[in-house]
């Protein structure tokens, strides 16, 4: 187990999050914050992806064919 130092404002914010999330521990709060951060990062990176329509149609057709194969 490790200890981290935070200022009073951060401590109060973490305590409020613990209550709002109904978390059992501060570790749970931090894990949730990390999870949300990763999700936001992924969304941000996904927004930057640019693909031509023709290529997008090709990828969609592959995904649809793959899905059909799993349902058969």
What's the pLDDT tens digit per position in 28-61? 999 999 999 999 888 888 778 788 888 889 989 9
Residue 70 above 70 pLDDT? no
Residue 71 above 70 pLDDT? no
Query: In 1-72, where does DSSP find H-type helix?
Result: 8-20, 26-47, 53-71
How far apart CA 9 and CA 17 sit, in angstroms, is: 12
6-32: average pLDDT: 96
How far apart CA 9 and CA 16 sit, in angstroms, is: 11
The pLDDT mean for the chain works out to 89
With cut-offs at 50, 70 and 90, classify the pLDDT of residue 67: confident
How far apart CA 61 and CA 19 sit, in angstroms, is: 46
> What's residue 52's pLDDT?
86
How far apart CA 72 and CA 30 sit, in angstroms, is: 42
């Amino acid at each position: 187990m490790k200890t981290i130092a935070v200022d009073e404002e951060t401590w109060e914010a973490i305590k409020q999050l613990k209550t709002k999330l109904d978390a059992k521990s501060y570790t749970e709060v931090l894990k949730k914050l990390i999870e949300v951060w990763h999700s936001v990062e992924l969304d941000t990176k996904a927004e930057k992806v640019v693909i031509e329509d023709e290529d997008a149609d090709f990828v969609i057709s592959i995904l649809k064919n793959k899905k059909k194969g799993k349902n058969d």
